[in-house]
Amino acid sequence: MRKGIGVSPGVVVGVVHRVESVLGSLEQEALEDPGQVPAEVERFDQAVAESASELETFVQKVSQELGDNAAEIFKGHLQILNDPALLSKVHELIETKHLTALAALQAVMQSYAAQFARIEQDFFRERMSDVRDVILRIGSHLTRKPAGPHDAAGDCRNGEESVILVAHEILPSQAMSLGELPIAGIVTEVGGSTSHAAILARSRGIPAVSGVDGVMADVGNGDLMIVDGRDGMVILRPDQEATAAYRKVQREFFDIKDRLVANRDLPALSADGTRVELLANINNLADAQASQTVGATGVGLFRTEYLFLTHLDVPGEEEQYEYYRRIILNSPNQTVTIRTLDLGGDKTVPYLGRRSEPNPFMGWRSTRIFFENAKLFITQIRAILRASRHGRVSILFPMITTLEELLHVNTLVKETRDNLRREGVAFGADVKTGVMVEVPAAAICIDAILRETDFISIGSNDLIQYLVAADRDNPKVAHLCEPLNPAIFRLLHTVLSACQRTGTPVTLCGEMAGQPRSVLVLFGMGLRRFSMSPAFIPTIKALLASVTTAQAERYAHHVLQLNTSEEIRSYLTARLHEVSSTLEMLDRA
């Protein structure tokens, strides 16, 4: 039995499938016949040539879109790709050891990794990331599939057992490529409740646990595992009694979820008739379509960075326009709030280069990147404005810290609108712009921010992380990123009160919006717009139908008087049990 962080509620019993790299394992490393050597060398050289052609295209495109400096990383990758030492090492292993090209390539990567690990200077150690990128690119051409995680679940698509994905970490780009796999549970060694593994799990409504240290060393493909995402419990190779007990809980969990989906066509109303808007957080087209099926009334947060993370080069204006257009047309009521690029932190793309930062979450990220890459920002704004003709679209700016930043962004948007008009390019006439409040400085100075924006969206994930000064993906301190923290509720109360005074529309789009106990308090504070992973919408709709406005207001008033997270958790757990004991299973412990 292992304890981690419950990041997506529910229970599943299934078989383990480990996430491996695109290069796979070394188990099938030798050629069956030495006579295959010349053909294998030729196959490797062809993969190198295809990689070179791809990189040359990227250099040209990125130079056009972002300038020559942004293309430097791809130029560097071309130099690594054409390094005679790398190529000769792979040739030698194929010719003398009779390895497959893939196995030889992996052996060379391991050799380089060992050499770079011995170098003390960070600059040189970080160059290993570039070497790995190049080798993975060659490997992707050898295997004829995009660079990304190995389809570890591919061999069990027709099996009866649920698939539990086990990984050290799931990166943003990997989360997107894993999106179509038949995964019923996720366990990772690192990450917290707002990691990409957690977001992936919640968007699909599957149980997940993060922060299970050392689990990769203890499990193999095919092992039976129990995942309890409510209290962060993982049981490896359970006995018959535990397996039977948890299968029963799993059936109850899915029965409840199936029953709740029936409310999708009902309006979101409290028990006394107060109307609430339940919106969806989405990453891609599939999420937009899924939000239609669960009763969302629109998209409250479209994370555009996932389009960029799944591209090896920068998407141009036409490509972005077409993608945003399809998202809008496939979203509930064709109503979408589009967040501009939120890159940086743990979400990086090669064409913006790599920067070594002691604390990247507090560094060069999100809207801050645009101040050095205005062309990138303007291209995205142009594409969004053009796509806004196809629905009701708002633009949301993340990571705004100061009023000066907001004024600068507003000026860039106005100039972009003016340029489109001069060019005779059609775009939506009534596109609102808003600020994502996720930095404490913006929350504290909310009155000044409200005077310069059309709406507010509270990003509770980062707001909590910054308020408690703890990295939400670090298992050592992730427990501090606790939504049921008195400081969080007091700051949220300040922001909500300011919005109510000025009549400014406000949405909460962080993970708190899908957590029943948090929603009881937020609704009591006057919040009427919640945006969440689509899978949680039926649960929150059922919760609100079970509570009156007056009840929720009493809960909120009482919570604001409490001084510890444990007091708040205990109080709200009791209230949730009173309101709807059935929904307790769908909230984290």
Are the CB atoms for 456 and 504 separated by under 8 Å? Answer: yes
Asked if 156 is an active-site residue, the reply is no
Tokens matching residue 485? 């923290």
Q: Is 509 an annotated catalytic residue? A: yes
Total count of residues recorded for the chain? 589
Say which residues have a Cβ less than 8 Å from residue 109's Cβ, sequence separation at least 6: 23, 131, 132, 135
Task: Report the pLDDT value the prediction gives residue 111, as an integer from 0 to 100.
Answer: 82
Cβ neighbourhood burial of 203 (10 Å; 0-12, 13-18, 19+): buried
Question: Which regions in the chain score pLDDT beneath 70?
Answer: 20-29, 65-71, 116-129, 144-161, 171-181, 192-197, 200, 310, 312, 344-361, 363-364, 473, 475, 584-589
Strands 392-397 and 183-188: what pairing?
Answer: unpaired
565-579 and 486-502 are packed helices; what angle lies between their axes, rounded to 10 degrees? 70
Domains along the sequence of the chain with CATH: 2-20+150-255 (3.50.30.10), 34-143 (1.10.274.10), 266-586 (3.20.20.60)
Choose among 498, 508, 499: nearest CA to 540.
Answer: 508
Q: Cα–chain-centroid distance for residue 29? A: 35
465 by DSSP, 3-state: which?
A: helix
pLDDT in tens, 67-93: 666 667 778 888 888 888 888 988 998
Tell me the three state secondary structure of residue 142.
helix
Q: Which of 482, 370, 17 is nearest to 222 (CA)?
A: 17
Q: Give the separation between CA 455 and CA 461, rounded to whole angstroms.
A: 19
DSSP state of 420: H
From the candidates 196, 481, 493, 499, give the one annotated as an active-site residue. 196
